[in-house]
Structures are given as C-alpha cells and as structure tokens.
Chain A
Amino acid sequence: MANTKEVRKQIASIKSTQKITSAMEMVAASKIKKTQNEMQLGRPYSEKIKEVISHIANSSSEYSHPFYEHRETKKACFLVVSSDKGLCGGLNINLFKQVISKSAELNAQGIESNFALIGLKAASFFKSVGGDVVANVQKLGDKPDPDALIGVTKTVLDLHRNGEIDQVYLCGNGFVNTMTQEPKVEQLIPLPAEEKDELTATHWDYIYEPEAQDLLEGLMTRYIESLIYHAVIENSACEQAAKMLAMKNATENAGDLIKELELLYNNVRQAAITQELSEIVGGAAAV
C-alpha cells in the first residue's frame, strides 16, 4: 500500500495544476468579452460592404465579375481558419475533420484540393497529414489585424485569377454561444448569386470613376477580405469560449481527483495507525 507521504505529494501536485487551469479559465472568460466586442465592432463594415455588393449585383452593370462565374472545377482551395494555441478542447480537430471529409468528397468527384492556412494549429495538422499548402499565416495574437490577412487572401485570389483554382471554401468555427461552437465549411468563390430586390425593377447603373473593372476588382477583393477577417475574429471568439469550457472541465476533474486521493490518504493513515496499535497490543501481550 502507498505511504502517506507519496499520496500527500500527489495531492499537492494536482492542487497546483488545478490552480493553473482555473486561472486559465478566468483569463479565457475575460477574453471572450473582448473578442465578442470586436465581432460587434466589425459588423457594420461587413454589413455595409454586403449592401454595396448586393446593390452592384442588382444594377444593370455592363461588367460581371469572375468571382460570380461558375466554371468547370478541377481544383478547389480550402482556406482554413484555426487557432494559434491549443488547450481548447476539440475545437480545431472537429474543424479539420470536416475539412478533410469535404476534401475527400470533392476528390471522389475528381476535384483536387489545396489548402491556405491561418493559424499555427492548422499548419502543424496539415504538415502531419500531408497536403498541398499554398499559403500560411500564423501568430495573429488575440487581436487579429486585418492587415495580417492580406497576404493569404491575395495568394488565394491570385491563384483563382490565374485559373489554378476554381473554387474557394472558407472553413472556420461559427460562434453560436459560449457553450456551442460549430465548425463550418462554406463556399466563398464562386459567390452565391445575390437575391434580386426592388432595385432591379428599374434599369439603372452606377457611374463608375474610374473604370468599372478596376473598381469592382478592388471592391470584390475588399469584400472577400472582410469575409475572411470576420471568420478569423469569429474563430478567435470560439477559441476563447472553447478554452474556457475545456479549462472548466479540467478544474472540475482535478477536484474529483483530489477528493479520491484524500480518501485514499485517510485510508492509508488509518491503516498505519491500526497496524501500530495492534503491534503495541501484541507486544504488551507477549510481555
């Protein structure tokens, strides 16, 4: 049977782990508020640019953008948004599973895929499973900067322009609430056709200054960038929520373990006392 000293040591070590996990839980809880706030702040821009894009789709424009064009698909690109740090439960791995299954599904239709990765976890995952990685950005921090994403976005869009890829999927976790995060794989390019509204009833078009093509090109790029930025922000909110939950569970598990060990400690201690007593009684009887 284990001796009391060993058990005491084990309890002490689990208690210090518990302190760390509960501190991490509180840190994540306070960060959730910040990231949620950022999601709110970024919303007006995404809404406005979506509005403008739908106005353009509804105008009788002389120029249609390649991002709306459905062409025969030979290669698809998955833009995977993941977290930089671990300790957030199954958040990343659930997403990667969906990406892999979607990629396998496309593969069955004869469509190859490659990957553009945001975040350290995606990079290490796709390094281990193998896969054609075309772009990567890491270490965005808790407050992702839109500028940091420009490189990846440009790489993917350039590949699309050159005809090397025909479809782009945006993969990231959707924030439902602090308890639930949902991995999503959504088609980014070609963009789903806009719904026509009352603006279409009359024939009108913008005056473009300078050329329609240049302007729409820039605007579309900005639109895609804003969608990706939003996905990154949302994923970072998910990361904090998942981390809070994972750390909460870890703290609770540590508590259970401590309880069990304390019971064991008392057992061991009592057994030692009983043994000592019976030895004394036995000794006295012998004399």
Chain B
Amino acid sequence: MSTIKVSIVSSSEEIYSGEGTMVFATGSLGEIGIAPGHTPLLTGLAPGPVRVQNGDDEKTFFCSGGFIEIQPDLVTFLSDTAERAESMDEAEAIKSQELAEKNMQDKESELDYTKAAAQLAEAAARIKTIQKLRKNK
C-alpha cells in the first residue's frame, strides 16, 4: 500500500512525523481527506482533530489554526499550537468554553468579540476531538 509522509509541527515542538495511508483534517473550507498522490494544495487549517491512518492503526491529534501544505508525496501541518489529543483535559476545554461564552456576552469591543468567537470555536473543536477519541475506545 502506498503511503504519504506526514509531519505535524507547532512553533514550540514537533508533534508527529511518520507515514500514513490516509490523513483527515479540517481545512479552512471544510473537511479534507488526503491520500498519497494528492495534487499540490495549500490551505488554511481550522481548529480540530487531525487523524492519521496507517493501515489499521489510527492516531488523532488536536490542532488549532494554522496551514496545511500538500505535495503528492508529503503533507505538512504547520499548527500554531498543536498538542496530543490524549493529553487533553475535557474539563479544561469546557471551562475555557464557558469563559469564552461569558466573554462573548459582555462584549465590549469588536476586538474582544472576535477573540471570544475564536476561543469558542477552539474550545468546541477540542471537545469534539475528545468525544471522538472516547467513542473509538
């Protein structure tokens, strides 16, 4: 089976580097699936889970915003902050979501509002990742 080289990096560390037969991620224009031999593509990366399949083995990572570069033989995720999905704390995510919602209600300026909306999207994506992981277990 042909594979594609996958690397997921954030500015402070390397999250994952290895081979995959299929990769799923959330691009800025929707969910995308990347198979080996994909046409060159450059797109934004939305907060959400990135799944790397290698045969029967599947790994899930959480990425907040960033970029995806795809070449036929490699795919690179440049994440702003990426962390391993297993290490996440759901309570923490919900707390940050509540905080974001609270911030949204007492919006004071345009800037605060957009910041809060971004925080909310990120928190929602985190919870989605964790729930997906739970289901797989």
Contact = CB atoms under 8 A, between A and B. Distances in A.
Given A41-B13, A215-B44, A48 B78 contact: yes
Interface residues of B, number: 23
A218 B67 contact: yes
B42 A51 contact: no
A125 B10 CA distance: 34
B87 interface: no
Nearest to B38: A207
A146 interface: yes
A146 B11 contact: yes
Given A38-B12, A41-B14, A45-B14, A215 B41 contact: no
Contact of A222 (B17, B43, B76, B78): B78
A52 B11 contact: no
B29 A44 contact: no
Given A42-B11, A226-B11, A209 B28 contact: yes
Given A51-B76, A52-B67, A210-B28, A45 B42 contact: no
B114 interface: no
Contact of B29 (A51, A209, A226): A209
A48 B41 contact: no
A89 B44 CA distance: 44
A222 B17 CA distance: 21
A210 B40 contact: no
A110 B83 CA distance: 49
Contacts of B10: 45
Contacts of B9: 44-45, 48
Nearest to A45: B9
The bracket for how many chain A residues form the interface is: 20 to 34
Interface string B47-62: 0000000000000000
Contact of B42 (A44, A208, A225, A226): A208
Interface string B62-98: 0000110101000010100000000000000000000
B42 A215 contact: yes
A43 to B, nearest CB: 8
B36 interface: no
A117 B38 CA distance: 43
Given A49-B78, A51-B76, A52-B67, A206 B42 contact: yes
Main secondary structure of the interface of B (DSSP, over half): strand
Interface in B6-36: 7, 9-14, 17, 27-29
A111 to B, nearest CB: 32
B131 interface: no
B43 A208 contact: yes
A67 interface: no
Contacts of A226: 11
Interface string A195-239: 000000000111111100001001100100110010000000000
B76 A41 contact: no
A55 B78 CA distance: 14
A146 B40 contact: no
B73 to A, nearest CB: 12
B40 A48 contact: no
A56 interface: yes
Candidate in A38, A206, A218, A225 with the most chain B CB atoms within 10 angstroms: A206
Given A41-B14, A48-B76, A222-B78, 15 more contacts: A38-B12, A44-B9, A45-B9, A45-B14, A48-B7, A48-B78, A49-B78, A204-B40, A206-B41, A208-B43, A209-B41, A218-B44, A219-B78, A225-B11, A226-B11
6 contacts: A48-B76, A52-B67, A56-B42, A59-B40, A146-B12, A209-B42
